[in-house]
A and B are shown apart, each in its own frame.
Chain A
Amino acid sequence: MIRFDAVTKEFPDGTVAVDDLSLTAPTGKITVLVGPSGCGKTTSLRMVNRMIEPTRGSIALDGQDTGRMDQAELRRGIGYVIQHAGLFPHRTVLDNIGTVPRLLGWDKKKVRDRSRELLERVGLDARLGDRYPTQLSGGQQQRVGVARALAADPPVMLMDEPFSAVDPIVRDQLQDEFLRLQDELGKTIIFVTHDIDEAIKLGDQVAVLRVGGTLAQVAEPAYLLAHPADDFVADFVGRDRGYRSLQFQEAPRLPLRSEPTVTLGETPATDAAWLLVVDDRRHPLGWVEPGRIGGRGVQDADLHRGGTVARSGGSLRGALDAALSSPARRGVIVDDSGELVGTVLAHEVLDAIEDTDRPERDEGDPVHGGAVAVAGDEA
């Protein structure tokens, strides 16, 4: 657990980057700091490993005041990932990953084995280990940056806009893998971003900071979307917040209807307007219009692939989007293995939405009300 206690950072030129910040990042969770530029989110992050020293207040790591620890040792115990990865250009990928274990004095073989293991863990080919950073793409460099931060298995990770310098598709990929990795590792993470979508996707709790370095609100994402503390947060969270909040609502009991299907090569035996095409494992491929095919076998070129597919037991957002995007107006629902379960109509999803509860508003404390509860937090 990382705890900011009334932390203020004033730079020598008089600008106040962080103003009286009190915040707790619970153990094993991802806390995202988000806000416009100049809100002090990076400064706050960098005060945790004392890359920047607070002017007032204190930061405690599992109850220990970081201000009293040896700077270098403190940092060796905290994984640190930055925007442009900051890999050492003169060292190979493996040597980059092994940096902290070597600083800690591990023996060579152990460092090497651990570095290889991490290379694989972050989804990189073992052959990349002997390359140099300039030979890697931006996304690959960022993965190596994450691997380097994880090398000595620190319980705490600080991540400063780690995915913002890569293109959107890669970013999405990296985010998904990051969440998968966090599921396995359960680190205590503080993550800085200026992108509210990234914050909501990744954060167990999200802290919105405003320019001038004050905390506007800290809450779980669903709570944040449902009950922004003020106009600034509401504005920052954005327009589609109603729709986006559906992603935190599970869709347990949608009235699924069974759907007649056809496989490729088969001739449709119906004159329905739309027919769902699946492969031999019953994974949906797309929709066809039997009326236009005219009595021959379904070909690949006949498929309409516009519809998204939602996972049964997934979010209401996924289910609604599947219904809205389907050319047949019937949203395709699959199970965890990707096999067709049935279809659902948009109004049925909407009915389900009306039955859900919104996160309950904490009237007493609009700023901290929706934060993740911390065990043993008596103050």
Chain B
Amino acid sequence: MNILFEWFGDPANWSGADGIGQRLWEHLWYTAVTMLVASAVALPLGLWVGHTGRGRWLVTLANSARAVPTLGLLLAASLWLGPKLPGDFAYTVPSIAVLAILAVPPLLAGAYGGIDSVDGAARDAAYGVGMRGRQVLWQVEVPNALPLMLSGVRSAVLQVVATATIAAIPGLGGLGRFIIDGIALADYGQAGGGALLVAVLAVLLEGILALLQRRLVSPGLTGRAVGGSRNDDDSAGPEESADPTVDLRTSV
């Protein structure tokens, strides 16, 4: 434990091009870029598959990608693309490409699963009252799919944060550098400190996203709706709405 305090206590570790501040910034930056790229591909695709019911094999295919080891993929991509790219791009492009590919399955599964789990009667009613396809998608399907979609986003973010750490092995920046360099130098204060920072970052991001999800999802879907019991004219109430779960996790 002392070595951790020592490492965190040293002001030199906090600033500069390889200080905690810079590494944290890099980590967040990789995460943001990766999520943007992956979401831009996976979310529309997931919505499309869910809405039209076509191309379900895409989701199955993406899910089976779980079995491919992240580290192996990262190293293979770096070995292949690295020499072809100039300067820092040799590290960032292959890593971020792999990070983005790995973020696709949970995003896709969340978006598809969310739309797929929308109550059939509600969808039927949406068409029945005269909504057009797009109106059904945006006014009914997407709002009802949000809990699962956002679960997918949360899984993807956690996964990217974790995988970005591993991407320090083929040379990416970010908090993983402390761990990899620390182990290489037998500086376990640095390695442990880096590990702790990553863990705290992951938990914090998860917390923030969970709060965001609470704000975005309609209270009618979360069982947090305000006030009162239902008691008036009969007892045949609907079953309690359970928190919908789909396993969106791929390995990290």
Contacts and interface: CB of A to CB of B under 8 A. Distances in A.
- Any A–B CB pair closer than 8 Å: yes
B219 interface: yes
Interface in B117-157: 119, 121-132, 135, 140, 143-144, 146
Contacts of B238: 133-134, 138, 141
Contacts of A85: 121, 125
A167 B227 CA distance: 25
B243 interface: no
B47 to A, nearest CB: 16
- Interface core residue of B127, B217, B226, B233 (most chain A CB under 10 Å): B233
Contacts of B126: 86, 88
A84 B236 CA distance: 12
B215 to A, nearest CB: 14
Nearest to B119: A89
B122 A89 contact: yes
User: What's the interface size class on B, roughly?
Assistant: 35 or more
Contacts of B218: 89-91, 132
A91 B144 CA distance: 10
A293 interface: no
Contacts of B128: 49, 51, 75, 80, 82, 86
B236 A86 contact: no
A82 B124 contact: yes
Interface string B182-218: 0000000000000000000000000000000000011
Contacts of B119: 86, 89
- Interface core residue of B128, B130, B131, B140 (most chain A CB under 10 Å): B130
A320 to B, nearest CB: 30
Given A100-B130, A139-B236, A170-B236, A88 B125 contact: yes
User: What's the interface size class on A, roughly?
Assistant: 35 or more
A267 interface: no
A131 interface: yes
Contacts, number: 129
A88 B235 CA distance: 21
Given A72-B131, A86-B128, A90-B144, A135 B228 contact: yes
A165 B235 CA distance: 12
B225 A132 contact: yes
A86 B121 contact: yes
Given A74-B130, A90-B218, A135-B225, A82 B234 contact: no
A137 B229 CA distance: 9
B225 A86 contact: no
A128 to B, nearest CB: 8
B233 A139 contact: yes
Contacts of B130: 71-77, 100, 103
Interface string A135-175: 11111110001001100000000000000011101100100
B73 interface: no
A149 B217 CA distance: 26
Interface string A91-133: 1100000011001000000000000000000000101001111
A75 B232 contact: no
Contacts of B81: none
B30 to A, nearest CB: 34
A87 interface: yes
B65 interface: no
A223 to B, nearest CB: 32
A99 B129 contact: yes
B241 A89 contact: yes
Nearest to A83: B121
Given A84-B121, A86-B122, A88-B125, A139 B234 contact: yes
Contact of A82 (B125, B135, B232): B125
Interface string B74-105: 00000000000000000000000000000000
B90 to A, nearest CB: 47
B11 interface: no
Nearest to A170: B234
B62 interface: no
Interface string A44-80: 0000010100000000000000000001111111001
A103 B140 CA distance: 13
A169 B231 CA distance: 15
Contacts of A130: 226-227
- Interface core residue of A72, A83, A127, A173 (most chain B CB under 10 Å): A72
A132 B223 CA distance: 9
A166 B233 CA distance: 10
A167 B125 contact: no
Contact of A75 (B122, B129, B230, B237): B129
B220 A138 contact: no
A137 B231 CA distance: 7
A371 B243 CA distance: 50
B221 interface: yes
Interface string A170-190: 100100000000000000000
Given A75-B129, A134-B223, A138-B234, 10 more contacts: A84-B121, A89-B144, A100-B129, A130-B226, A134-B225, A135-B225, A137-B237, A140-B232, A166-B236, A173-B233
Sorted from nearest, which 7 A-B pairs have the closest CB atoms?
A: A132-B220, A86-B125, A76-B130, A75-B130, A90-B218, A86-B121, A80-B128
19 contacts: A49-B128, A51-B128, A75-B127, A82-B125, A86-B122, A86-B123, A88-B126, A88-B140, A90-B217, A103-B130, A103-B135, A130-B227, A132-B218, A132-B225, A133-B238, A135-B229, A139-B232, A148-B125, A166-B236
Interface of B: 119, 121-132, 135, 140, 143-144, 146, 217-221, 223, 225-238, 241
